[in-house]
Structure 1
Amino acid sequence: MPAAMIRPGLCRVEQIMGTAITLDLADDLPPARLHELADEVFAWMREVDARFSTYKEDSEVCRFDRGEVLLSEASTDLRFVLEACADLWGATDGFFDAYATGRLDPSGFVKGWAAQVASDRLLAAGAANHCVNAGGDVRVRGFSPAGEPWRIGIRHPWDAMATCLVLAGTDLAVATSGVYERGRHVLDPRRGAPAGGLRSVTVVGSDLGVADAYATAALAMGAGGIGWLDRLGDHTHAVVTDDARQFHSTALPLTV
């Protein structure tokens, strides 16, 4: 596309939830409107962080876990997340478990869900071309500023400066769970011990919260997670094992 046809859009990065949240807006809208939309996205992400952070003693999720907030008193968002986590526990044979650590921690769903809600709101507001990247959990819609499908690089699990795969699409939810940044933080809830066997799991679908939870569940399953992912008819995936073998769905939207 000629340079004159590239939409300027807007790109903003903020540190929220202990990670970088990157927003790319690629619609040809007035600059003031683009900034307003970005403000709304980041205000939402900060609201989610304040409500669901397990590191903030006064967050609603911590107060609920301590019994200081009853379910009947909980916010609509907290009730939604608790119900979603219960459904995902069933859908993953118990491997996605918000109580795996012995206390309530829905983080394996919340970050992807928050980015999905942000994307849904942008679409409803008329910003049909955007990318929301919440620390590697990515929701893209429409086209990039260059008028091309969005390209999503999947981080190489042993080299932070490299990618092992690149995906492309105009309507993708891409979630990756791995052990290369926080160590083996995902527990196998059946053994109560850190999961092993897989170095990183990427799940691609249409809902980022679900994809995020599925990636976490598959990582918790260890090597058995590969077969479980293969049986998910409505999602595709890519997996890197601890011994550096790579597996991916034949329908994964790969590009070069």
Structure 2
Amino acid sequence: MNLTMELDRRAWVVQVMGLPVSVHLRGPEVHTDAVAARVERVFAELGEVDAVFSTYRPESVLGRLGGALPDPATAEPVVREVVEFCELARARTGGWFDARLLPLPGGGTGFDPSGLVKGWAVERAARHLADLPEHDLCLNAGGDVLLRTAPGRPAWRVGVEDPDHPERMLDVIEPAGGAVATSGTARRGAHILDPRAGRPAAAVRSVTVVGPELLWADVYATAAAARGTDALDWLATLDGYEALLVEAAGRVRATPNWPGSRPAAPARAG
């Protein structure tokens, strides 16, 4: 008997922040107006975040700054929070995630926290659905996924795309909760900058990171894609996070406790 099929399900999809965002819920109240109103608040908050942080909208807060780093003394609280998280991300990744000097849509380089904002915003917006204890949540923002499953319920199944053949899955994982984030060149080309070389990173096709928080799973995946093929050794040291990495040459490797069926990367000799 498939318990997943017995649960009431509902999905909503909205284009926001320049990407499709979907909310999938399983539970007894998914068809009520009260739950639908909560989901609408999720999308509304993501739209408000985009109005502040989009580097593609000249009228946004960051658009008006034109790549300049916001002044913590005058910036609004959410902007200060993101700037602080970006600094913490730079420290945690040894500089491989650095939002200060990134290519801007209008040309030139400057402050662009987009690699962190999506995960941060999704986690913030998901609080509107936090007190629905009898409901399971899958919030998917352009491939970065936030999951919650009630005790005793079947886990969500999340497929990891083959970056060279998107119609195929490299692996399928079933986390009961937490986050899954992927960075790489498959969808947007070589858009991730190697901050040390000052040029696009191309040694890694994709990195998928699984862990408790979407903000950090997304940051770590982006940093690993920038770092290159030796990033898996670093990812293996991160408490609570596991990863699957696809090199540009096609080799697929995973950290020791990757929750899927892919074998872990072999230990380095010497």
Q: Which moved more, 1:8-17 or 1:90-99?
A: 8-17
What RMSD in Å do the two structures reach over aligned CA positions? 2.4
Pick which of 173-182 and 125-134 moved more: 125-134
Corresponding residue for residue 19 of structure 1: 19
- 1:111 is aligned to 118
In structure 1, the gaps of 5 or more residues are none
Gap runs ≥5 in structure 2 = 103-108, 263-270
Identical-pair percentage: 36
Which of 152, 163, 166 does residue 169 from structure 2 map onto? Answer: 163
Residues 223, 25 of structure 1: alpha-carbon distance in 2 compared, 3 angstrom cutoff: same
Secondary structure of residue in 2 paired with 1:56: coil
Structure number with the bigger relative contact order (C-alpha 8 A, sep ≥ 6) is 1
90-99 or 67-76: which moved more? 67-76
Query: CA-to-partner distance for each residue in 1:28-52, whole Å, 9 max, x for gaps?
Result: 1151122111101111111111111
Deviations 1:117-156 (A, max 9, x none): 2233311354641010000100100159x94201111111
Shift of 1:26: 1.3
Contact 2:25–2:137 (CA under 8 A) maintained in structure 1: yes
Instruction: Identify the residue that residue 216 of structure 1 maps to in structure 2.
Output: 222
TM-score of the superposition, structure 1-length normalised?
0.91
Equivalent residue pairs, number: 255
Identify, as 1 or 2, the structure richer in helix: 1
Measure, in 2, the Cα distance between the counterparts of 1:4 and 1:18: 31
Change (3 A) 1:18 1:3: same
Partner of 2:74: 73
Q: CA deviation at 1:63?
A: 2.5
Q: After superposition, what is the alpha-carbon deviation per residue over 1:89-122, rounded to whole angstroms, capped at 9, x for unaligned?
A: 0111111000232311101111111112223331
Question: For the Cα contact (< 8 Å) 1:139–1:208, is it kept in 2?
Answer: yes
Q: 1:71 aligns to what SS in structure 2? A: coil
